[in-house]
A and B are shown apart, each in its own frame.
Chain A
């Protein structure tokens, strides 16, 4: 129990979920981030998402790199194992962990510096390897922890609090993920819990590599009126391409949906997502169409959010490599060691 307990009075809402757990059981330690930091809203969204979908906390492993954003795993799911690794290398640690035990849920948390700069190579390769996990980038367009240098995701012309202006073209993590073969790609905003929570739930239920680029303002260093990742710009230019409702597996579908406007997708674990298309021809199952839309909005200075792309027919690394059903970390001596008999044959082949 390596966390500080929060005082009880923080929790008026003690509703229990299917596992008999309350929201409290999904929380982490007290945050040490700046008041108003977008990252804290992401922790809160994960807590809500996991609690509402009755995820077993101990069946989740949280892995991050280094940065303010990479501290997020401390602030949710204290009953899960966590691994705060090194800067930019969360993808490799998550890959190894996933290979060792395919039966857990993996939540990777990273920042824009962590994933779009030092870790860009690892980010690209984890997407390619189709690791079955939810990967969230808490994207504030700056290096919060090292006090406000510009990051590679900041738009050209974006300015930090110190007045530093971004001169170079930015990297859009969401389109990059789509290009590289991610099978679930979304973008959201830490300020829009209503949109973010169901996306997190859908990402956790999705089988394959699920990526969410969450604009998450850094109030201390990059929240000016001229900053592409500040609250002002995000609220003003934020458009939702498809609003998602998430219905966990086993739950009865009670709301009625307009068949003309809506699309339902059943995920591998039996959960269902309903997409409300905002009166457009956006089709998140069509890669080219998705990329076209996102880029069109980008040109207009808009931030395209929602579920941007989903493809349920890809295989994850374990399927591609045809690994055994039993998690590797449960394989015994007997499962793994061929015994001396086989070694005699091997010896003979070297005589």
Chain B
């Protein structure tokens, strides 16, 4: 048994529950479920863990990575540097090995010797003859391919001290009903475990120790949480066109509808899902259904939002509710379709032509994906306008540790201002766009409600308060002003920003969505250096008044976001009159989640400069 660390004379700092394991695979090789199993076993050991998929826009043959960060402190953002690389892809093995931190480890398939140029003197190699092992144990090529992945998970359980019971239980859970698959999977785990413990001193200096940080938590991706949220939020109609990374939203809605939305007795469906011919048709169906009183949504990403522009303007101006989930990916055009970005902020805030503006919600974790999905229908119907929930690939497609999903059984849907037959009977004259309550929100009626009251003509062309066609410019302007008032009213129905310690410090950070995953790590690290900041996590647009106040109350604000052009900063400048001089933009747009290290470095650099220039100190 080889004690690598002492044999190699490489200095390896022991790390318990604080390291990164990265898997380099070829896509289509069946590695995803093995890698997921690895991450989930750490979750089940009670240790905070965050897996990130980095995958190509391709079905088979291209490189794919799965990066798992383990952090007892609960830092679930990304971090640069790899402690243990599972190097399974010959195409990328050179750069994969190069990315390992000095003192780190490389697990590789030693069925074929590594070429000399790959050898690094400052990392440990963990050779395992994976191919030879599966060749001996399994007959079918497909089995060999799949179980090779399970064998390396078995080896990792020895190297990192993963509770073997946790792994075997997971296999039994996963293949419940397909019992035949359980024993070869467990056997493969044992093969890897055995080989590792026979040949190396296990566990390694980087290892896991059971903890209690995940009590009551769940491990779920944002898109699934949205799908469940739509079921709970009362959506009956989903219309969509397949587009990564949004597709799994509708998949999840479909799955949970089939479980929870079947009428007892008749077996019929209390939902309808239409795979539209394109995104224009998808949003058209959502608008048609919402106009007619059903809760409807579509899920898409940047390219789909581009196609929906005209309809979004129609819904805004004719005041029809609609719910859209935009799972953002890197643009423009096809951009990097399988990489993450927060690049659609501006194109969604003001989508369509003319004076338009849309309600945006910014979830930053799966629990919020669920909550905001359900809330978005209330908000859209209350305000009679589209609501766009802006998630991104990072949140949508990666499993994240989250608070459990919760529903208050006393909650009733807010269907907004809709007049029923009785109410129509009692009013003398109905005008679709009359602002009877002074809050800018008029009253709707559904088609078919009353034999001779309440009908109106919905149109995208200019209309008066009774929905009659007009080209009178003053009446048009009045209507536009009323909609602007409605957007002021909107704020009270939107989730407020999450603000820490307002006014306590001179420095502030503003961010939203998945950027949040890096913030606690930044704060903790800066605190150690004697720098303190207030934080504001935005959760909705149009912004609450608190947002303006927060900006006014701080001397220097770091606006942290994941796009090139500082779209959030622009939005704050447009909507809150934030001064350019006060706003320091920190951006990341390389398609992967922003890291705490990047944010911290930029803050430290800027403080050095501004101390010189202005004398601001924390």
A residues near B, CB below 8 A?
A: 1-4, 56-59, 61, 63, 73-74, 78-86, 89, 91-101, 103-104, 121-122, 124-125, 129, 317-318, 321-325, 328-329, 331, 333, 335-340, 342-343, 346-347, 350-351
Which residues of B does A touch, CB under 8 Å?
44, 217-220, 228, 231-232, 234, 236-237, 239, 256, 260-261, 263, 266-272, 274, 276-278, 280-296, 310-311, 314, 404-409, 412-413, 429-432, 445-452, 455-461, 463-464, 466-469
List 10 tightest A-B contacts by C-beta distance, closest first.
A96-B288, A92-B284, A329-B293, A100-B294, A96-B285, A81-B447, A96-B289, A100-B292, A93-B288, A350-B218
| Further contacts, 15 of them, CB under 8 A, given A85-B460, A100-B296, A347-B218 | A2-B455, A84-B461, A92-B285, A93-B291, A95-B239, A99-B272, A99-B289, A103-B448, A321-B272, A329-B292, A329-B294, A338-B231, A339-B409, A343-B407, A351-B217
**Candidates B282, B406, B448; contact of A101 at CB < 8 Å:** B448
| Chain B residue with the shortest CB-CB distance to A345 | B259
Contact of A79 among B260, B288, B294, B451 (CB under 8 A): B451
- Contact check: which of B285, B295, B460 meets A84 at CB < 8 Å? B460
Whether A328 and B236, one on each chain, are in contact in the complex, defined by CB atoms closer than 8 angstroms, is yes
Q: Which residues of B contact A122 (CB under 8 A)?
A: 277, 280-281, 284
Output the nearest chain B residue to A122 by Cβ-Cβ distance: B281
In whole angstroms, what is the CA distance A96 to B288 when docked? 4
A337 touches B294 (CB 8 A): no
- Decide if A96 touches B448 in the complex (CB within 8 Å): no
A338 vs B467: C-alpha distance when bound (angstroms): 38
Which chain B residues border A74 with CB–CB below 8 Å?
A: 457, 469
CA A224 to CA B141, docked complex, whole Å: 73
Partner of B281 from the list A125, A331, A336 (CB cut-off 8 Å) is: A125
Task: Evaluate whether A336 and B406 lie within 8 angstroms (CB atoms) in the complex, with A79-B452, A97-B288, A101-B448 already known.
Answer: no
Report the minimum CB–CB distance from B180 to chain A (whole Å).
22
B221 and chain A: residue at smallest CB distance? A350
Residue among A3, A84, A324, A339 making CB contact with B407, cutoff 8 Å: A339
Question: In the complex, what distance in Å separates the CA atom of A331 from the CA atom of B281?
Answer: 24
A73 vs B217: C-alpha distance in the bound complex, in angstroms?
54
Of B271, B291, B409, which is within 8 A of A340 by CB?
A: B409
Known contacts: A96-B239, A121-B278. The answer to whether A347 contacts B405 by CB under 8 A is: yes
Verify B455–A58 contact, CB threshold 8 A. yes
Q: Which residues of A contact B294 (CB under 8 A)?
A: 96, 99-101, 328-329
How many whole Å from A324's CB to the nearest CB in chain B?
Answer: 4
Q: Which of A59, A325, A329, A335 has the most CB of B within 10 A?
A: A329
With A81-B455, A321-B272 in contact, is A328–B460 under 8 Å at CB?
A: no
- For the complex formed, measure the closest distance between the CB of B290 and the CB atoms of chain A, giving whole angstroms: 7
Alpha-carbon distance between A303 and B447 when the two chains are bound, in angstroms: 37
Q: How far is the CB of A61 from chain B (nearest CB, A)?
A: 4
Given A93-B291, A99-B294, A336-B261, do A323 and B269 touch, yes or no (CB 8 Å)? yes
* Complex contact A333–B412 (CB within 8 A): yes
Contacts of A321 in B (CB 8 A): 269, 272
Contacts of A325 in B (CB 8 A): 266, 268
The reply to whether A85 and B274 contact each other, CB–CB distance below 8 Å, is no
How far is B279's CA from A89's CA once the two chains are assembled, in angstroms? 11
Q: Provide the bound-state CA to CA distance between A100 and B446, in Å.
A: 10
> Is B409 a contact of A95 with CB atoms below 8 Å?
no
Pick from A98, A104, A335, A338: contact of B232, CB below 8 A: A338
Q: Which of A93, A96, A337, A346 has the most CB of B within 10 A?
A: A96
Q: Are B268 and A322 in contact (CB under 8 A)?
A: yes
Complex Cα distance, B274 from A122, in Å, reads 13
Residues of A within 8 A of B286 (CB): 96
Contact A336 B234 (CB under 8 A): yes
Most-contacted residue by chain A among B236, B267, B270, B409 (CB, 10 A): B236
Contacts of A337 in B (CB 8 A): 232, 234, 407, 413
Known: A58-B452, A328-B236, A331-B270. A101 touches B292 (CB 8 A): yes
Determine whether the beta carbon of A96 is less than 8 Å from that of B457: no
B contact residues around A94 at 8 Å (CB): 288
* Docked-complex contact B468 and A58, CB < 8 angstroms: no
- Give chain A nearest CB distance to B594 CB in angstroms: 26
B354 to chain A, nearest CB (A): 13
A58-B239 in contact (CB<8A): no
- 16 residue pairs bridging A and B, Cβ less than 8 Å apart: A1-B430, A80-B447, A81-B455, A92-B280, A93-B288, A95-B281, A95-B285, A322-B268, A324-B270, A329-B293, A335-B270, A339-B407, A339-B409, A343-B407, A347-B218, A351-B219
